[in-house]
Amino acid sequence: MVITNICGNLSDPAFRGKRVDALWLDDVEAQKRILRKNTEGGRDIALRLEAGAQLRGLRDGDVLAEDAGTVVAVRLLPVPALLVRTAAAAEIARFCYEIGNRHAPLYAPDGTFSCFAVRYDASLEQLIRQLGLAHEKKDMVLSRVDQLKLLSPHHHHHQNGDA
């Protein structure tokens, strides 16, 4: 089955009560435009997401297909992560700078910007220790919804097609 778009989310009323055939993905797989994988029920799924769907990314509970009372839905796997908590602006700035230099995706899972997560890596854990930041290693879902993005200063946005 080739999937090009997202049909909705399990939280939508239209999908309540339907049987779910889960497509288990980690955070890296959930950001790919092209992927081939089997669902929990054994369905062969080929993802070839259109630009808009790929830009949005796959989120936990996204419905990819529906047939005969069953929906194929994305379920995100927890992965080892480092969770850093700090409210000190200088610590946040230094931490974000160092993570950005390593081009590691950074997440704000609680939306408060006093708690950050990165996928576990021994060198990142060593860096966090060197920075003197309180942290813990924890298995958690890293969702693209919580991923922080920075636009390049060379990236321009125009409204109404103006150049």
- What CATH number corresponds to the domain at position 6? 2.60.260.20
Residue type for 57, please? G
Q: Within this chain, do residues 71 and 87 fall inside the same structural domain, yes or no? A: no
Give the pLDDT score at 133.
Answer: 93
**Residue 110 pLDDT level (bands cut at 50, 70, 90):** confident
CATH of the domain at 133: 3.30.70.790
Residues 108 and 84 in one domain: yes
Q: Tell me which residue has tokens 């999908």.
A: 15
- In angstroms, the Cα distances linking 152 to 38, 46, 107, 144 are 37, 32, 18, 19
Question: Residue 156 above 70 pLDDT?
Answer: no
Task: Retrieve residue 52's tokens.
Answer: 């808009």
- How far are the Cα atoms of 24, 150, 156, 157 from residue 153, in angstroms, in the given order? 36, 9, 8, 11
Q: What is the mean pLDDT of the chain?
A: 86
13 and 34 part of one domain: yes
Residue 159's pLDDT band (cuts 50, 70, 90)? very low
Q: Is residue 159 part of a domain?
A: no
Q: Same domain for 87 and 138?
A: yes
What is the average pLDDT across 16-45?
92
Which helix (H) or strand (E) segment holds residue 91: the answer is: helix 89-101
Domain count, the chain: 2
Domain membership of residue 163 (yes or no) is no
The domain of 99 spans: 79-146
- Residue 162 predicted with pLDDT over 50: no
For a pLDDT cut of 70, what percent of the chain falls above it? 91
Residue 56's pLDDT band (cuts 50, 70, 90):
confident
Do 96 and 47 lie in one domain? The reply is no
